[in-house]
Amino acid sequence: MASAPGCRSTPAKVPSASEGAGPIGPASLVAHELALEELSRAIDVVGRGDPEVGAILLCSSWQIRAVVSELCTKYRTIMGGHVTTASGARRPGESALATLGLAAPADNPADSSPHAFPDGGTWRTEIPSVEGPEALAVVLKESSRLDVPVHRISQGSGVWMLTDAEITEMVEACAERDIELCLFTGPRGTWDIGGSTRTDSGGAGLRARGHDALAGCVEDALRATELGVTCLLVADEGVLWTLHRLRARGVLPAETTFKVSALIGPVNPASYAVYEQLGADSINIPSDLTLAHFTEIRRASATPMDLYIEAPDDLGGYVRMYEAAELIRRGAPIYLKFGLSKSPGIYPYGAQLRDHTLNTARERVRRGRLALDLLARHGAEAGMSPLGSRLPGILRRFPVLDDETNKD
């Protein structure tokens, strides 16, 4: 073991298991590593105030650090890689990297989300871009074949792109499997005649342009809920607030939930919390946010998070399967969305896109199987909500004023 520069020390011997070393479980291993980090910070602070004392502390702590580091490495080797982090999950490549002295630092418990779904689960699954009854049938068949649990099915073309008969068929098929069906609301700016969305700036994006577009979204919401749809996708803050007010007044069923689209997803904790207050029951954040961003958001809001584990190309094409366990740890409660990169868009869907849509629906389920297999291999599959779970729990809202108060 090396010593700190300028220190004369005798390396301490690390006891082997045969020499009566006490048992060291994963939790105490993590505690040792966290204690070392705190020791290092303390030495740094004291050393700045008193360089002489700091130098003495540095020499002593170097021996301690070397002993514990070697102890941790030996333990990981003995356990053959079955060493978990503070979250209870094994890190990818943990054992092999530890033998090379490249073990990852221990999880910081402060980074873990303190929140969960009301059923106690920390994660659920979602298959997106299921554009009609035929695509839904493919997803249900493939999810049974590959044993992929599905909590939510979502569609992106919009309620207005489906007939009553098609919506009813989808509602009934999802009800049979106890899966939540989420349909997109109304007209959107990117399909409008306005030219700003076609500029480099993107203009206002998908947001509803003018009163008529807002009214179209409300019409879609009323029609969908009358046909039995319980979850609606929105891509406009005003539409979200309007639908929430209608829900609060009983115009829309109280059990209706609103999901904010990834296409307007918030990127900081303040804006995430505002969507919660406007009525969002789950919020799709962009897939390029860092792990630190997840922790920041979770300190501001408990609203369920939606995240593309693999994002479509028009949302960046990011593939974050190997991060799934850490995304759950920091982002819970979270919906893992199994999207597909390197695939042309299918909105608005029509028969001209049938073969491509069915093939990609099938592959999205397979992507889900790949992600779930990774979680299982790393011991991180625990915490999935029971199938059939859909409610977000108690969330914070802006007050909805009655008509008389609004007139004041």
CATH code of the domain in which 350 resides: 3.20.20.70
Residues 89 and 131 occupy one common structural domain: no
Residue 3 inside a domain? The answer is no
Same domain as 216, residue 248: yes
Instruction: Judge if 132 and 270 occupy the same domain.
Output: yes
CB 348 within 8 A of CB 158: yes
Clarify whether residues 94 and 136 are in a common domain: no
Q: Do 332 and 363 sit in the same domain of this protein? A: yes
Per-residue pLDDT band for 66 (boundaries 50, 70, 90) equals low
Q: For residue range 1-24, list pLDDT tens digits in order.
A: 444 444 444 444 434 434 444 444
Task: Give the per-residue pLDDT at 228.
Answer: 98
- Rounded Cα distance, 313 and 346, in Å: 12
Residues 154, 259 within the same domain: yes
In-domain check, residue 153:
yes
pLDDT tens-place string over residues 289-310: 999 999 999 999 999 999 999 9
Residues 213, 73, single domain; the answer is: no
Q: Does residue 289 come out as left (phi exceeding 0), alpha (psi in the -120 to 50 range) or beta?
A: beta
SS3 per-residue string spanning 279-291: CCCEEECCCCCCH
7 found inside a domain: no
CA angle 99, 104, 108 (to 5 degrees): 145
Q: What is the pLDDT of residues 195-252, one digit of tens each?
A: 666 666 565 566 677 788 899 999 999 999 999 999 999 999 999 999 999 999 999 9
**Residue 314 belongs to some domain of the structure:** yes
Query: Is 370 part of a structural domain of the chain?
Result: yes
Q: Mark whether 147 and 48 lie in a shared domain.
A: no
The burial class, CB within 10 Å (0-12 / 13-18 / 19+), for 255 is exposed
User: Both 104 and 134 in a single domain?
Assistant: no
What's the domain range around 293?
123-377
* Domain-located, residue 164: yes
Same-domain status, 306 and 278 = yes
Q: Are residues 244 and 366 in the same domain?
A: yes
Q: 64 and 163 share a domain? A: no
- SS3 for 353? helix
Per-residue pLDDT, 317? 78
Using DSSP's 3-state secondary structure scheme, residue 181 falls into strand
Handedness of CA 87, 91, 94, 98 (dihedral sign): negative
Q: Give a yes or no: residue 176 inside a domain.
A: yes
Overall number of domains in the chain: 2
Angle in degrees, CA 117, 206, 187, rounded to 5: 100
The candidate with the shortest Cα–Cα distance to 240, out of 204, 264, 267, is: 264
Candidates 361, 356, 337, 369; CA nearest to 133 is 361
